Structure 1
Amino acid sequence: MNKPRLGYLGTGLMGGPMVRNLLKAGYEVTVWNRTASKCDEAVVAGARRATSPAELARHSDAVMACLTNASAVEAVLFGPDGVSGVTGPALFVDFSSMDPEQTRLFGERLRAANGMGWVDAPVSGGTPAATAGALTIMAGGTEADFAMAEPLMAPLAQRVTHMGPSGTGQMTKLVNQVISGCTMAVVAEAVQFAKAKGVDATRLTDALAGGFADSKPFQLLAPRMAAENFENPLGTVAMMLKDLDTVAEVGEGSAALPMTETARALMRTACDQGHAQDDISTIVLTLKGLA
């Protein structure tokens, strides 16, 4: 049985390695990115380059996307030469992160436009997991749409969980970002505290491995923060701040979020200092400056 043809919109830090894993799994993939040069590596790996989201959709049975925010998703779907103007693809799988209600409305709008199903499938694990095909994916959508999407996501993930109807994937991602964002801020605080008091912070991950303080973010970020080596970003400060801003908007009036607010303030200060597009680990420099 032939594999469905896939289209992939957004080949940046996360999307690029995800496309390469789809190609390795034997899928025919057509790619598009607003900055066309960001598709070059995918094309070298075997992907076909499209000149617009609409052209991509015409060559696809299912379309995937990993984009910066809701505005970017709306543009590729409903803007000029958008996916919604093409009849043919059966499904849209969105790995982007956005407001759960916005996701639900986009899904309804797309289905009304051309009949495509929708699965919101935000991811966790950063660029290392995207490269290894070991992402954690939390998905929202109808049972039928998820059943269609699940095998397509298999080359990308170590775990895919169907959380419920449209929007529940995005809501679960916000829960993930509360935990992740606060942990990142605490790891930065601990590393900077250690350095300020003369502890060799480069040894912390070995010293604390397996204890209550250990975690995947700690193991990934503490060495980068200790060495102040921010090459090959795991994810940007701006992306995490965007998600924590969404948490604050969704939780307003219904949930107390004091830890999230503290982490959010730290990341906003880091962005104001020029680190918005830098690796998330650079928040340790902001704490260093505050000290």
Structure 2
Amino acid sequence: MTGEGEDLELGYIGIGLMGEPMTMRLLKAGRSVAVWNRSREKLRGVVEAGAVEAKSASDLAGRCDIVMMCLTDTKAVEHVVFGENGIAGAVRPGSILVDFSSMDPDSTRRFAARLREEAGMGWIDAPVSGGVPGARDGTLAIMAGGEAGEIERVRPVIALMAQRFTHMGPSGAGQTTKLCNQIIVGCQLAAIAEAVRLAEEAGVDAKMLPEALKGGFADSIPLQLFAPRMAARAFEPPLGAIHTMLKDLDNAGEAARQAGAPLPMASTARELLRQMAARGQSEACATALIQLYDSVQR
């Protein structure tokens, strides 16, 4: 492993809403990228753009210095890393796994220790914030946990996909920071939906809220992204699924329980999302939260 970002062989596993635009940015930067996904049909766009399809997660890991991964949950991560034909089965000496997935910090720490012991591979937990637009535009904020030296070795590559890559501490610290992020975003989604409905019921043009509040204390990226979509009841293309936010807030609840930290606001947001999931909308864009407020009888 050379230590020079431009000389490293790169791989990406998990070509979904986030993985596809992140991989596209690497390809547009002139990097060669090996890719693998459990559902092959999702590889079509990145392969057509120049990515090389690997036969398995193990095959990809055997040819790459940096393996990047963005999967749905803890179970998927464990299977892809340690399961049959998984990453741990064939790694390059000194290689590093950068996990962009969001999951609970305890599992991350356990998996990282196991991967280093079984395969000698480093693990950086690096969950992302910024959604699909951030992945497409390279403006993601990535919060990382792991060893400082390994984080510096991958930094030039991460810079091709993100505007901020912050080392938050040892293994698991990135995931804990992402939970803090999701607490803030989840509560904002609920508050934005309430504000949109109040504006509509009071005869104010809710679509103008982002413009009117821009630059003030209420302004935020979620306000600018989600308020217009909520006002227009526009849920496509999705910016992030309800089940994903619900999973993160569930993990935040468990982390808070272990730490003895109160989460009254996040608990309320979590229950609203759970209501959406109970209505069969767990796959819907988080923007669809506004529909809960539409269903309230006046």
In structure 2, what is the Cα distance between the partners aligned to 1:110 and 1:191?
47
In structure 1, what is the Cα distance between the partners aligned to 2:130 and 2:219?
16
Give the superposition deviation at 1:51: 2.4
Give the superposition deviation at 1:196: 2.2
In structure 2, what is the Cα distance between the partners aligned to 1:98 and 1:8?
18
CA contact (8 A) 1:85 1:113 kept: no
Count of residues in correspondence between the two structures? 291
Does residue 289 (structure 1) correspond to residue 289 (structure 2)? The answer is: no
Aligned with residue 133 of structure 2, among 128, 138, 144: 128
Aligned with residue 22 of structure 1, among 19, 26, 36: 26
Does residue 99 (structure 1) correspond to residue 104 (structure 2)? The answer is: yes
Does residue 260 (structure 1) correspond to residue 293 (structure 2)? The answer is: no
Give the superposition deviation at 1:134: 0.8
CA contact (8 A) 2:146 2:170 kept: yes
Structure 1 gap segments, 5+ residues each: none
Aligned with residue 68 of structure 1, among 59, 67, 72: 72
In structure 2, what is the Cα distance between the partners aligned to 1:139 and 1:66?
14
Give the superposition deviation at 1:198: 2.1
Give the superposition deviation at 1:267: 0.5
CA contact (8 A) 1:6 1:28 kept: yes
Q: TM-score, normalised by structure 1?
A: 0.97
4+ residue runs over 4 A deviation: none
Give the superposition deviation at 1:209: 1.4
Aligned with residue 165 of structure 2, among 160, 163, 167: 160
In structure 2, what is the Cα distance between the partners aligned to 1:287 and 1:144?
48
| Deviation per residue, 1:226-266 (Å, 9 max, x gap) | 00011111111110000000000111150110000100001
- Could you say which residue in structure 1 is the equivalent of 2:279? 273
CA contact (8 A) 1:3 1:27 kept: no
* 1:1-291 equivalence runs, <5 A: 3-88=7-92, 90-252=95-257, 254-291=260-297
In structure 2, what is the Cα distance between the partners aligned to 1:171 and 1:155?
24
In structure 1, what is the Cα distance between the partners aligned to 2:213 and 2:119?
53
Give the superposition deviation at 1:107: 0.4
CA contact (8 A) 2:58 2:91 kept: no
The alignment's C-alpha RMSD in Å is 1.2
CA contact (8 A) 1:75 1:82 kept: yes
In structure 2, what is the Cα distance between the partners aligned to 1:51 and 1:206?
48
Q: Secondary structure at the match of 1:230?
A: coil
In structure 1, what is the Cα distance between the partners aligned to 2:79 and 2:198?
44
| Deviation per residue, 1:126-172 (Å, 9 max, x gap) | 00000001100000101111111211201111111111111111111
Give the superposition deviation at 1:57: 1.1
- Which stretch has the larger CA shift, 35-44 or 53-62? 53-62
Structure 2 gap segments, 5+ residues each: none
Give the superposition deviation at 1:174: 0.6
